[in-house]
Amino acid sequence: MILALETSCDETAAAVLDGGRVLSSVVSSQAALHERYGGVVPEIASRRHLELVGPVVREALEEAGVRLDGVERVAVTQGPGLVGALLVGLSAAKAIAWAARLPLVPVDHLEGHVASLYVEPDPLEPPFLCLLASGGHTLLLAVRERGSSERLGTTLDDAAGEAFDKGARLLGLGYPGGAEIDRLAQEGDPRAFAFPVARVPGLDFSFSGLKTALLYAVRDLGEEETARRRADLAASYQDAIVRALAGRAREAAERTGLETIAVVGGVAANSALRAALPDARFAPLSLCTDNAAMIASAARFTPAVPCPGYLSLDAYASLS
Ligand code: KG4
Ligand code: ZN
C-alpha cells in the first residue's frame, strides 16, 4: 500500500495504490491560477501547493478508504521540476513518513510518467520503446526492465507540450493550450498549411523552428484572416508536431529492435498522435498529465530509503 505525492509543476496530486491497483488519484490543477500569465509562475505555484497539499493527501486517503496506519510506504517526486514546488511535496512526504515511521521512496518524475503504463487493469511489460512527451520534456527511452530506462534522444530546444502551448498562445487560445489545439484541430484541415518538421541528426527533436513558422504565418495572414482560419492553422501545426513525434518513435523502434512503442506524458492525450500511432500503447488518459498515481506506480520499482535516512534528501530541478 503506497501513498504518493506529486508537486513538480502546477498540479498538486496525491494517490493511493495497492500493488498496481489505483485506489485513489486526486489532482488539483492550478492551471486557472496561472492562465493570466500564459505560463506557470513558480512562486505562485509553490504557495498554492502549500495550501493544497494537506487537503489533497487527506482526500486521497479518504477516497481510497485507507488510514495512514494502513500505508506501508510513502513516495514523492524528487525531481526534475520547479524546485520550490518540489520542496513542498518532498517536505510534506518526509513529515508524513516520519510521523508514521515509514520508509520513503524518492521518485524521478520522468520514471513516473513511464510507470503510468504499469497500472492495472492492463499493465505493460517491458521491453518497449517509450516516447515521453510532456510540457517539460520530449524523450525517447529504451525500457528493458521496470524501474530503469536508457535515453536515446531528446529535444534540442522546446518540449513537444511547450510547442503546443506556445502555438496555442500565438493562436489566441488559453493556457495550457495542447488540449485546446487538439479540440480545434478536429474542425480544421491538417494540409491547409505546410509547416516544416525539423530534420535533426540522430534521434533528437527540435520544435523551435515550427513555432517561428506559425508566428510568420499568423503575421502574414493578419488578425481577421487568422481568426477565420484558426482551425486550419491549429490542425496543420498539430500535424507537424505529430509527424515529428510519430516518425522519430518509429525510427527509434526500428533501430533498437524494440517492437512495442509506448507513449506517455501530457501530449500522449493528443487524439491526432493516438491516430498516427494506432499500434502503440498509450498511457491511460487520466494518467497522461501529471498525477501521483504514476509516482506510486514507479515507487514499486524504486528502492525505498528507511526511516529516518530520507530527512536529508533534497529536490533536484533538472534532468539528471
Ligand atoms: O505531463 P504534463 O502534465 O506536464 C509535464 O510534466 O510537463 O504535460 C503537460 C503538457 C502541456 O504542455 C499540455 O499542453 C500538453 O501536455 N497536453 C496536450 C494535450 N493535453 C495536454 N498536448 C496535446 N494534446 C492534448 N490533448
Ligand atoms: Zn509531467
* CATH number for 72: 3.30.420.40
Query: What is the three-class DSSP state of 1?
Result: coil
In the predicted model, what is the mean pLDDT of residues 64-90?
97
263 and 133 in a common domain: yes
Amino acid at 43: E
Q: State in Å: Cα 310 to ligand 1 middle.
A: 31
Give residue 140's pLDDT: 98
Give residue 320's pLDDT: 62
Instruction: Tell me the C-alpha to C-alpha distance, in Å, between residue 301 and each of 2, 105, 138, 139.
Output: 12, 10, 23, 20
The answer as to whether 16 is a domain residue is yes
Ligand 1 atom nearest 113 alpha carbon: 1
The answer as to whether 55 is a domain residue is yes
List CB contacts of 274: < 8 A, sequence separation 6 or more: 263, 268, 282
Give residue 36's pLDDT: 81
List CB contacts of 282: < 8 A, sequence separation 6 or more: 262, 263, 264, 268, 274, 288
In this model, does residue 31 exceed pLDDT 90?
no
In this model, does residue 27 exceed pLDDT 70?
yes
Q: CB 45: neighbour CB atoms within 10 A?
A: 24
The answer as to whether 123 is a domain residue is no
Q: Model confidence over 268-295: pLDDT tens digits?
A: 999 999 999 999 999 999 999 999 999 9
pLDDT band at 174 (very low <50, low <70, confident <90, very high): confident
The answer as to whether 97 is a domain residue is yes
Ligand 1 probe mutation, 111, 171, 267, most atoms within 8 A of CB: 267
Helices (H), the chain: 31-34, 42-64, 83-99, 109-115, 160-170, 178-185, 208-228, 230-256, 271-276, 293-299
Ligand 1 probe mutation, 164, 166, 319, most atoms within 8 A of CB: 164
The answer as to whether 319 is a domain residue is no
Give residue 128's pLDDT: 98
pLDDT band at 59 (very low <50, low <70, confident <90, very high): very high
In the predicted model, what is the mean pLDDT of residues 175-181?
92
Q: State in Å: Cα 226 to ligand 1 middle.
A: 24
In this model, does residue 301 exceed pLDDT 80?
yes
Q: Is 106 in the pocket of ligand 1 (CB under 6 A)?
A: no
The answer as to whether 61 is a domain residue is yes
306 and 250 in a common domain: no
Q: What percent of the chain has pLDDT over 90?
A: 93
pLDDT band at 176 (very low <50, low <70, confident <90, very high): confident
* Alpha carbon nearest to ligand 1 atom 21, residue: 266
In this model, does residue 265 exceed pLDDT 80?
yes
267 and 159 in a common domain: yes
Ligand 1 probe mutation, 8, 35, 134, 291, most atoms within 8 A of CB: 134
Ligand nearest to the CA of 269: 1
Q: How many domains does the chain have?
A: 2
In the predicted model, what is the mean pLDDT of residues 246-272?
98
Q: Model confidence over 112-130: pLDDT tens digits?
A: 999 999 999 999 999 999 9
Q: Is 112 in the pocket of ligand 1 (CB under 6 A)?
A: no
Ligand 1 atom nearest 11 alpha carbon: 3
Q: Is 269 in the pocket of ligand 1 (CB under 6 A)?
A: yes
The answer as to whether 79 is a domain residue is yes
Q: State in Å: Cα 11 to ligand 2 middle.
A: 9
Helix (H) or strand (E) holding 14: strand 11-18
145 and 30 in a common domain: no
The residue written with cell numbers 514523492 in the block is: 76
239 and 143 in a common domain: yes
Q: State in Å: Cα 13 to ligand 2 middle.
A: 12
Q: Is 81 in the pocket of ligand 1 (CB under 6 A)?
A: no
Q: State in Å: Cα 178 to ligand 1 middle.
A: 6
Asked if residues 214 and 167 have their Cβ atoms less than 8 Å apart, the reply is yes
75 and 141 in a common domain: no
238 and 293 in a common domain: no
Q: Is 291 in the pocket of ligand 1 (CB under 6 A)?
A: no
- Torsion angle (degrees, nearest 10) of CA 230, 39, 162, 5: -130
Q: What is the mean pLDDT of the chain?
A: 96
Size of the chain in residues:
320
d(CA 107, CA 180): 30
The answer as to whether 305 is a domain residue is yes
Q: State in Å: Cα 287 to ligand 1 middle.
A: 11
In the predicted model, what is the mean pLDDT of residues 48-54?
97
170 and 84 in a common domain: no
Structural domain for 63, as ranges: 2-118+289-312
* Alpha carbon nearest to ligand 1 atom 13, residue: 178
In the predicted model, what is the mean pLDDT of residues 84-103?
98
* Sign, CA torsion 48/51/52/54: positive
pLDDT band at 46 (very low <50, low <70, confident <90, very high): very high
Q: What percent of the chain has pLDDT over 70?
A: 100
191 and 88 in a common domain: no
List CB contacts of 169: < 8 A, sequence separation 6 or more: 38, 175, 177
Region of residue 131 (left: phi > 0; alpha: psi -120 to 50; beta: else): beta
β 73-79/2-6 pair status: parallel
Q: State in Å: Cα 71 to ligand 1 middle.
A: 31
272 and 300 in a common domain: no
d(CA 144, CA 197): 29
Higher pLDDT, 70 or 38: 70
d(CA 172, CA 161): 16
pLDDT band at 199 (very low <50, low <70, confident <90, very high): confident
307 and 278 in a common domain: no
d(CA 128, CA 258): 6
d(CA 23, CA 248): 35
Between CA 86 and CA 90, with CA 87 as vertex, the angle to 5 degrees is: 85
What does the block give as the cell for 161? 507540450
32 and 166 in a common domain: no
Least confident of 34-43, 44-53, 58-67: 34-43
Asked if residues 245 and 267 have their Cβ atoms less than 8 Å apart, the reply is yes
d(CA 73, CA 296): 9
